[in-house]
Amino acid sequence: MTNVKGILAGYSKELDSHIDKFLPFEKPDNLMEATVQYPRAGGKRMRPAMVLAAAGAVGGNKEDAIPLAVAIEYIHNFTLIHDDYMDGDEKRRGMTTIHVKYGGPTAILAGDALFARAFEVIAHLNVPDSVVRGVLKIVTRAVWDLARGQQMDVNNENGEEVTMDEYIETIRLKTSVLFAAGAAGGALIGGADSRTVDAVHEYAMLLGVAFQMFDDVLGLVGDPVKLGKSVGNDVRKGKSTVMVTHALKSIKDQSVMSEFRSILGKANASEDDIRKARKIMEDAGSVDFAVKMAEDYTRRAIAKLDVLSPGEDKEFMIALAEYAMKRDV
């Protein structure tokens, strides 16, 4: 059986030296320190791993795809820096966030700098010019969509109730598109034909939805210690996750509904409030519903890979989709 965590750790180790190589230290110091902090800090590195696996799975040379893997990780980190500032989050993976440590302006600029460097790395890819252009088209479109998805999320968190379809569209834009751009870009660099590039793109779009949906589940019922953050924050923000939308449609008892609504969006909800809201959603079958829906997306994602020849990179991509649903962090 494919050891996803082990393979991710291997990719992560390989990437670390390249992450630094493409971020030479220039003036001013405070901007550079802010720029390198998140990329150096690690994380699951799922996105860059997907770039490399896709390049290999289509029969290409993974080495050629390393700069794109780094660029996708920079883009992911640029969005984290900006998101943390927007959300006013003070901690990420146990570290003080950039805007708290260096101030808001530096957080904005560090994100912008990483964004620019990501595309500079793409410009220098050691592949034919036509492939650079193709990768550029895919990745620029993804970043445009990321901004749209993040704005939808902001609007949603400002209490605008959305339908389940709208929430899934938000996830697609906010999370899936970068997975998909990485996978499709990797496949393109690996020399895949357009049908294969499209299939790999769709795989990653579906996987991204499953990943984010299960992330929402963990954010409610996960272990705060393992996650490194408190649970229930989506409830406090009144976010229309799949679980919340399902519960609002399913709860029949008016007193339960009014209790649920009284906690939803309550910024200072206590841990006891969160436990109550969680219990209400569990009783309404909303958590199971979200897990099943995520599983369904995972299955559909894996089916898209039928176009690929068998091999260990394909196996890893299948296992990565399953891992999105099995992880505890």
Q: Under the rule (CB under 8 A), what is the footprint of its own copies?
A: 26-28, 30-31, 82, 85-86, 104-106, 108-113, 115-117, 119-120, 122-124, 128-130, 132-133, 136-137, 140-141, 143-144, 146-148, 150-152, 154-155
CB nearer its own copies, residue 88 or residue 94: 88
Q: Three-state secondary structure along the chain? A: CCCHHHHHHHHHHHHHHHHHHCCCCCCCHHHHHHHHHHHHHCCCCHHHHHHHHHHHHCCCCHHHHHHHHHHHHHHHHHHHHHHHHHHCCCEECCEECHHHHHCHHHHHHHHHHHHHHHHHHHHCCCCCHHHHHHHHHHHHHHHHHHHHHHHHHHHHHCCCCCCHHHHHHHHHHHHHHHHHHHHHHHHHHCCCCHHHHHHHHHHHHHHHHHHHHHHHHHHHHCCHHHHCCCCCHHHHHCCCCHHHHHHHHHCCCHHHHHHHHHHCCCCCCCHHHHHHHHHHHHHCCHHHHHHHHHHHHHHHHHHHHHHCCCCHHHHHHHHHHHHCCCCCC
CB nearer its own copies, residue 82 or residue 304: 82
CB nearer its own copies, residue 152 or residue 293: 152
Q: What are phi and psi of 144, to 5 degrees?
A: -55, -45
CB nearer its own copies, residue 188 or residue 324: 188
Distance in Å, CB of 205 to its own copies, minimum: 17
CB nearer its own copies, residue 71 or residue 205: 71
Distance in Å, CB of 120 to its own copies, minimum: 4
Q: Which helix (H) or strand (E) holds 95?
A: strand 95-96
CB nearer its own copies, residue 26 or residue 253: 26
Distance in Å, CB of 264 to its own copies, minimum: 21
Distance in Å, CB of 21 to its own copies, minimum: 15
Distance in Å, CB of 33 to its own copies, minimum: 11
Distance in Å, CB of 78 to its own copies, minimum: 8
Distance in Å, CB of 140 to its own copies, minimum: 4
CB nearer its own copies, residue 135 or residue 287: 135
